[in-house]
Structure 1
C-alpha cells in the first residue's frame, strides 16, 4: 500500500501546481503538435549549443511521475527552449528566469518521491530496512518546502503534508525496527534521523519506545521454539526519515548505550557499525552469517526484513502496456512489440540505461 499512499500524497500536491509548470506543459504540447515546430526546436538545440539529447516528453496530467519526467527533460533543454521562444513569433509560453527557477525546484522536490516510488515498486522487492529512512526523507522534504518563498510551493507542501499525516501519522513500529536490524545504521541512525525532525525530548521518548519494542520482540523470539513471523506485536508511532544523500552526510556511528543490563540486544546494538560504503553489502547474507553469534536476532531479522514494503507490483505503478498493446495492436508479434517500444530511441538517440528504463515505466 505504501506506493499507493505515496502516489495519493503527490497527486494531491500536483492539484495546486505552480503556473510555471503549466507553461512547461503547454510548451511541450505546442512543439510536439507540429512537425515544423519539431524541426525548428531541433535547430534551436544545435544553435544554442545545448547538450540536450533525445526528445521532449509529454506528460499525463493525472500521473505525477510523467510530469516529473517532463520537467526533467525540459530543464535539460532549457537553453534550446529559451531560443525557441525568441525564434517562433507565435509562441506565447516562454518562461522567465524566475519561472525556470520554480520549475527547477519543483523538479528537485519531486525527484526523491519518484526515486523512492521506483525503488519501492521495483521488481527486486527491497527489504524492509529501507522503509524507515525513506519515509522520514519524505516528511523532511515537506517540512522544508513549507519555508519556500513561492506561495504556490508552500500551498503544495501544505496539501501534501495533510495527506502525509492522514496516512502515516500512525504506522507499524515493526517496520521502524527494521532499520535497527541494519548493521550499517542501527540505533545511531534512528536517533540522528529523528533529531532532524523533533526536539531532543521527543527524540528520546521515540528512541526509547523503539528500543523497548525491540527488546519485547527479542524476548518473544527468545521464548519461542519456532521462527514464525510475528504479526501481532505492532505499535504505532510517528517516526520518519530523510534521504541518505544529503540529510545524513554528517551521520557517524559510535558507542550508544540505550538499554539497561548487558544482553544480546545491547551487545548487538553497541557493536561497531558495518561500513556504509560497502556496495556489495547484502543484509540477508549478513544475518545468515550471524546466526551463530546472534541466533535470536538473526531469526528476528529473517522475519522482519521479509515484511513487504508495498503490495503494488511494478507493472501496476509505471506500466506502459496500455500504450503498446491496445485493441488495435493486440495481435503484434513479440519482436514487433519490442521494436515498437524502442523505435523512439532509434529516432531520437539513446538515453542512459537508467533513464531509458524510467521512461518505459511512464
Structure 2
C-alpha cells in the first residue's frame, strides 16, 4: 500500500529495484481484497518476489519504515505455501473453461484435506487460522452434497473408485456408508429416468426403416445394415447378462487423468450418447448444475475499480461511460493476466478527467435538485 500510494513512491520503488538487482519484476504488486478468495495469496506471493527491494527501500525513500522483520518474512513464506492450494482451487473453479459440477467435489475435498493436514502445524498463528477456517468449512460442508458426488461419479476419470479413495482419506470408518449412499441414489435416478427398450422393439424399428427405403438405397447400405444387425446383437447380449448402461459404464476402467486433464465431460457424454443413450441424459442433467457465481462477483469487483465513495451519485449515463472506457483500455485483464481489482492506473484517471468534468457539472445540478426536494 505504501508503494502504490503515489506516483513518487512508485518511482522510488522502481529505482530501488534497479539499484538492488536480482529482483523478478515480471509480477506487479497486488493488494488484498475482501471480495477475492485468492487475493491474500497473490499479495503475499508478489511481496516475496520483491523482498530484496523492500528490505532496501528505506535507503531510497525516507518515509518507508514498515519493512517486515526476518521472522515475519519466514511466516509470509509459510502462509503463502499454505494458501497455495486455496488459490489453485479458486482459479480452477473461476477460470475453468468447462464449469461442470464434477469439478466441485474434488475441489471441496482438496480444501478439507489441506485444512486437516495443517491442524497440527508448529506455527501457532497458522494453527489458529486453520482452526477458524475449518470451523467455517464444516458449517457448510459437514456432509458432502450427494448431488456433487453424483457429478463426480459421472466423470469417466473419477467414478466410484476415486470417490472411495477420497472418502477413505478423510474418514475410513464412514467411507463404505457414504459410498453406498451415493451408489443407491445414482441407481435410483438412473432407473427412474431410463427408457427401457426391448430387443424386439429395436428389431422392429430397423425393419420398418428398411421397408421404407428404395431398393437401390438398400443395396448401397447393405454394409451398414450388417453393422446395425451387430448393434442389435450387442444389445441382446447386454440384456441377457442383465447389465444396465450404468453397470457397463461403472465396470469400464477410468480414463487417465494425465491424458484427459482438460477434458470437457459434457462433450465426452455427447460422443458416447449411442453407447449410453439413457445414462447420457442423466449425466448432462447432473453435470449442468452451476458451481460458481463468478460472473456476478466479477462484475461487482469491476465496480469497485471504477467507483468510490465520492462517485456513488453519478448519473446513469456517466456510469456506463466509465465502465465502457475501462473495458476498452484494459480489457478486464491486468498486465500479468490476472485481474486483481487494484485501482493503480494513473493513465485511466487522466483519460477520465474530461468525463469527470462533465460529471461534476451534472452532479452539481443534481445535488441542487436534491436540496430543493429536501
- What is the TM-score normalised by the length of structure 1? 0.69
RMSD between aligned residues: 3.2
Structure 1 residues 305, 344: CA separation in 2 closer, same or farther (over 3 Å shift)? closer
Of 138, 141, 156, 1:183 maps to 156
CA distance in 2, matches of 1:49, 1:37: 20
Report which of the two has the higher share of helix: 2
Partner of 2:186: 214
CA distance in 1, matches of 2:250, 2:332: 53
Partner of 1:138: 111
1:40 is aligned to 2:22? no
Aligned positions of 1:24-103 closer than 5 A = 29-46=1-18, 47-53=20-26, 55-60=28-33, 65-85=38-58, 91-103=64-76
Shift of 1:146: 1.0
Shift of 1:188: 1.8
Partner of 1:174: 147
Aligned positions of 1:106-117 closer than 5 A = 106-117=79-90
1:257-302 CA-to-partner distances (Å, cap 9, x unmatched) read: xxxx854333211212223223563211211222222222212101
Shift of 1:125: 6.0
Partner of 1:264: 245
Q: Does structure 2 retain, via aligned residues, the 8 Å contact 1:148–1:154?
A: yes
CA distance in 2, matches of 1:343, 1:205: 46
Q: Does structure 1 retain, via aligned residues, the 8 Å contact 2:30–2:342?
A: no
1:323 is aligned to 2:299? no
Aligned residues: 289
Q: Does structure 2 retain, via aligned residues, the 8 Å contact 1:85–1:93?
A: no
Structure 1 residues 85, 213: CA separation in 2 closer, same or farther (over 3 Å shift)? farther
Deviates more, 1:122-131 or 1:43-52: 122-131
Structure 1 residues 131, 211: CA separation in 2 closer, same or farther (over 3 Å shift)? same
CA distance in 1, matches of 2:146, 2:291: 13
Structure 1 residues 214, 116: CA separation in 2 closer, same or farther (over 3 Å shift)? same
- What is the TM-score normalised by the length of structure 2? 0.67
CA distance in 1, matches of 2:3, 2:128: 30
Of 266, 271, 279, 1:297 maps to 279
**Secondary structure of 1:273's match?**
coil
Larger Rg: 2
Shift of 1:192: 1.8
